[in-house]
Structure 1
């Protein structure tokens, strides 16, 4: 029998993550091999399912936003939003994109230019258009619809129904009359959410640290090796633990504002001092292609064509968003109290994607301009090391050194905000859903995530862990569908 007060979700999660960590540290090749096999099986048999589910989430969110349910508040009728719109968008942007958008802003369009989707020939004018269009597509509303489903469900049950803000709470209305052992099901779902969050964030920290190290090496000649990366991790951990002590309304909120402001400054400055007309035309044509081919790209399954590109990019992104969604969704739910369903959906699904689309046009378009028009070797730099793509591109702009320093600072603050947000969410998930989890719990998770990232960097197991964490996407997609039906059931009951 469990002792009174035993935190089942916390302890089972930490034990499983520790075992998984040891496996990845001691035999990273084995972890990577089996993780790739599992993901290959998933993409072989479920790639169409992922595409359909992502579109279903878009349709579900839009239906709620523009139906009679759109005016319902995520909170009591008298509740007002806790944060200004700019603050709110800044926190969405920092939690949802983290360092990933900065990491792939140059490298993904360049990779699509070299190896475009089926039907295009690499390194041609047509490949440039396809590269920008698909990069915008991968960072557009599909990802944010996935995040929005989790956030919407948790925020409704937490603030409107005054229940625990956990993934399991959102499916309970469908389960409570069908399963006797509801608590067992709830614990299983919550443990899965904790595992996905901890491994996903730790992997992103590791990748971000590698890019910071790459930027320092390219800009200042600082050694690009594991010793430097471990120092960066220690500095990063101390910084985000200090931020976590200050709480949500100070640390995360202020850092999110800083992130959004620096990102806008970097993007606006490079747009104005770089090939402005080329970038603007890239934005317009890319956005036009995105809108025009939205349906085609959303259901890009052709049984007569090789599906490797689709699985490596589109299906991978949707699976990664679903595996990442417990963290992002729980966090955006926490900061969205007092907003209506319509306001939540339009803000979450359209504003961050628009920023991402502009980012891809500015940095991806700028990189392809320097490669194809000026003849600078951006492609070879990305092929040598994807972490250097951004810095090689920035070096071609006026004040390239200054821009690289700003970019390194932006990556670091993104890492701090992502880690700080993750410790907050993990604290909520494993401390009986306190809206403001205890400092001790946040510190434990903060140290734990840094340890995971450090061990995996030492063992070169980041790729294996990243792929392995995607295995959670398949069961989570089922849970998310159940959450949609559960939310709709409750909204219909409320409307009566």
Structure 2
């Protein structure tokens, strides 16, 4: 999933998020404002793993392909249930925080106003919810579930299959993924803006493992896992974008079959583009491109809505919501206990792959949404992060999923041989202005990736250089090139044997393997955040106030038979406490 360039950090540089704030443990990020210092343990260990994977893939493609498939099968059989439980657990945890007493706690010092206006905040949240993922799966996922529903559910291409297709698509793109992002973003924002710690993932764990361990080997391991997950998540997005661009070029008649060579060339071009944008320092220009992309995506959606099956799309909106709600329990509980190998394969291709992909993106997306949410309360944060992108996904899938399902029902055969990257262009072939819209899709995919991957490279640099908000250029270039190399290996092992249509398999295999360790980190992140919130000054004040009030009421009832009133007077100095006390009168 692509996200725009992180916004300006001038306010963060000022250090005012912690000055004079009793909730801060140290001045906000002041230790990270000097010359970036590379953490050679975090950088070196992750780079070594990356080089090992790339070299293995280059000299032993078949061997890596076989090993990754075997590892994936073992992990799905033995740990798939963990991903399913964790993803639903994050939804419950995020909603719990929003509706609990912790919902009033601000992500900043007491009384601090939100850094961005609500309209701007929602707009940036909208941009974070769009990207390669929606461009790639907006047509292919609802269409795929319509033609081939989840095992043991409904007959293919039936009326019931329409409901299941939309419900399953929304399940993969609304509350669950954004709850994953919300947990990470909330933990990072609270730790950084409320407590004044660094913006490293390890900083979140300070209340759980202590400052020494958070800055020691345990903290470095956490940052390595975050960096590793981000690398493979970014590479997965690059690989998916490459597949769709190659399919568009084939549909336009520009190339023949999408061989491994063609895919690698496209990856190389995209990699050069996003590295150049990441090191150019023209953040405003990238943001401008991102905003243009949002407008182009909206125009594309409006075009398909108007010239496509408009009434069917409108009818699909309430149907999708109702089906999602009614099938939520069943979808959340699919974990391979029933259905045999067919269900295991389906989960690997859809639900568990998605959960792994979202988790691999949490360090990056979490940092982004944390950065733009300073000053918001926890309740506002969770509400915005869960609802805004979910509504965007609902509308997007209704339009593109509705257009693809209607076209398939009409006998146009847009599903084809099941190749996901070609299906968007197959749908556009049956609408006006095919060439223009096809080129527009390729442009959208390319810019979405470039405008997000440059920021992902910067985030990887931040993780490598002790939380520096402006990592060294060479580090950014290194991780940008590494992303391209890993994406190429993902696609090459997927096409091992010459079957280009299986290219997505390599992406799924390595993404899942790379995200599994960080899933454990995220579960522990929830524990650390909850421990932090329990000791938050606002929480302690509320608890003390309730205790004092209860004691005063008890005393008043006992001594005055219930006829009393409460007033405040200066506390009597007993040498142990200070402040005010409540007494009955």
Using structure 1 for the length normalisation, give the TM-score. 0.91
**Larger Rg over CA atoms:** 2
Distance 2:76 2:489 in 1: 28
Match status 1:386 vs 2:420: yes
Say which of 272, 285, 304 aligns to 1:270.
304
Say which of 217, 230, 242 aligns to 1:197.
230
Cα deviation code 1:401-453 (max 9, x no counterpart): 22222211111111112211211210111111012323332222222222333
- Could you tell which deviates more after superposition, 115-124 or 135-144? 115-124
Say which of 334, 350, 353 aligns to 2:387.
350
Aligned to 2:289: 255
Say which of 257, 278, 292 aligns to 2:326.
292
Contact 1:206 1:453 in 2 (8 A): yes
Contact 1:50 1:315 in 2 (8 A): yes
Match status 1:361 vs 2:398: yes
**Gaps in structure 1 of 5+ consecutive residues:** none
Contact 2:50 2:482 in 1 (8 A): no
Contact 1:252 1:421 in 2 (8 A): no
Distance 1:327 1:401 in 2: 34
**Gaps in structure 2 of 5+ consecutive residues:** 1-36, 497-502, 541-585
Aligned to 2:512: 470
Match status 1:327 vs 2:373: no
Distance 1:155 1:476 in 2: 19
3-state SS in 1 of match to 2:432: coil
Residues 181, 153 of structure 1: alpha-carbon distance in 2 compared, 3 angstrom cutoff: closer
Match status 1:375 vs 2:416: no
Aligned to 2:474: 440
Contact 1:331 1:425 in 2 (8 A): no
Distance 2:526 2:389 in 1: 22
How does 1:6-405 map onto structure 2 within 5 Å? 7-77=40-110, 79-85=112-118, 87-89=120-122, 91-95=124-128, 98-117=131-150, 118-176=152-210, 183-223=216-256, 224-245=258-279, 247=281, 249-301=283-335, 303-306=337-340, 307-308=343-344, 309-372=346-409, 374-380=410-416, 382-383=417-418, 385-405=419-439
Deviation at 1:170, TM superposition (A): 1.2
Distance 1:80 1:255 in 2: 29
Cα deviation code 1:159-209 (max 9, x no counterpart): 2111111222212211129x9686111111111111111122123212212
Report the number of matched residues: 489
Contact 2:239 2:507 in 1 (8 A): no
Aligned to 2:533: 491
- Could you tell which deviates more after superposition, 328-337 or 179-188? 179-188
Contact 2:38 2:466 in 1 (8 A): no
Deviation at 1:55, TM superposition (A): 1.7
Distance 1:458 1:71 in 2: 49
Deviation at 1:81, TM superposition (A): 4.0
Distance 1:180 1:419 in 2: 31
Using structure 2 for the length normalisation, give the TM-score. 0.77
Distance 1:421 1:36 in 2: 31
Contact 1:201 1:418 in 2 (8 A): no
Contact 2:490 2:510 in 1 (8 A): no
Residues 255, 21 of structure 1: alpha-carbon distance in 2 compared, 3 angstrom cutoff: same
Contact 2:163 2:320 in 1 (8 A): yes
Distance 2:349 2:89 in 1: 21
3-state SS in 2 of match to 1:164: coil
Contact 1:24 1:465 in 2 (8 A): no
Contact 2:353 2:508 in 1 (8 A): no
Distance 2:214 2:331 in 1: 42
Choose between structure 1 and 2 for higher RCO, CA contacts under 8 A separated by at least 6 residues: 1
Deviation at 1:49, TM superposition (A): 2.8
Contact 2:356 2:511 in 1 (8 A): no
Residues 425, 109 of structure 1: alpha-carbon distance in 2 compared, 3 angstrom cutoff: same
Cα deviation code 1:45-78 (max 9, x no counterpart): 3333322222221111112122232232222345
- Could you tell which deviates more after superposition, 36-45 or 208-217? 36-45
Higher helix fraction (1 or 2): 1
Contact 1:90 1:256 in 2 (8 A): no
Q: CA RMSD in A?
A: 2.6
Contact 2:108 2:374 in 1 (8 A): yes
Contact 1:79 1:338 in 2 (8 A): yes
Distance 2:260 2:82 in 1: 39
Deviation at 1:264, TM superposition (A): 1.8
